[in-house]
Structure 1
């Protein structure tokens, strides 16, 4: 069984980039990550008190449980939790789409069928994960951030079908990030991938920042996907037959 934990970043309305990112691995790997994460929550850094959950946005803005953290402490916490992912042997996964290019390129018919950039990139993440599981001959388990479930639940079955993966070998659920350590690790990955995606959108020769670079270089394995203008156009072209069948051309 391969377990995948996915969280989103950039789904707020004014973002030009949307990411679904996370961590994956066999159960024993994810169990190790869970244990290490819990231990780090108990001691995020130095003599700081335990925290109930990790959230990159809160850390970077020194708010809620990270209120009062110095810049040095924030850097150490960022590194400490990243190290939990690296040491566990989990794989890092992230798929990003340029919403700016989607809005510019997608036709009204394509927008009606595909229902937006976020749904498209979420479907890509599910489909590509199924392809990974098929490669290893494994069943698959997904845990997604519960906050997006009303918008995205209906995409999972079509994405599994598009991957030509047996739906009977897939289980999935939506949980709150605060309640699942794997989703908190996914939050870290999605945040770092979002920062890189924003830089890459403006300059496709941009390198990952040092934190993202360290995550990619040190993790067991990583799969990063980018859906920009050319890829979006290819997806839209692929809906041409469906557009005709539905009489939307």
Structure 2
């Protein structure tokens, strides 16, 4: 009886109401009503807060799609003009000061699977040189930077529910490296049927991976803010965030 009177229970009820209110379109409202049924099944306050934010974000994007399915006019998408491209040879050679590096953090987009390489796990866990994975090499690069310049550039990894386990397995090997490694999960969005625009029939459990998908690189800003790491970095004086794919070793 105390459970039903607890603040957590009231929080779940308010979260459910906000989720329904966010759906302006009847189709989106129907999807929202179905997703609402998931919230009472969540037993963790932390998981509920994260799921609520993710579903709100999903419904907002879903509403935008329903109102204007074609959001990009591809006829207007063109390469930048020659005058806007700066040649590498013309970049300044003054170097980067330690004070600049102290304000830097590096983020690797690490939510992708290596399915195109016939892998079942995280693409960053693929061994590419001397038994080292993409992720191993990224850590070594940041560790070298920190050691050489006597700075503290942290390495952030945005994982997904598909790559989290593989990522943590690789990261554990680098506990003694001079680099702080922080991970956070990108959102999980429910799958939608293309023809009916209804929920995939198995979206009744947040643990059923077949019914959910990570929304991709564009989710980095929302997920970083939701994770609390953005506030933490700002409190440390970090001002610059370098973002690249986890398998892009030439960009670190």
TM-score, normalised relative to structure 1: 0.29
> Relative contact order, CA 8 A, sep 6+: which one is greater?
1
- Higher relative strand content: 1
Larger radius of gyration: 2
TM-score, normalised relative to structure 2: 0.29
- Higher relative helix content: 1
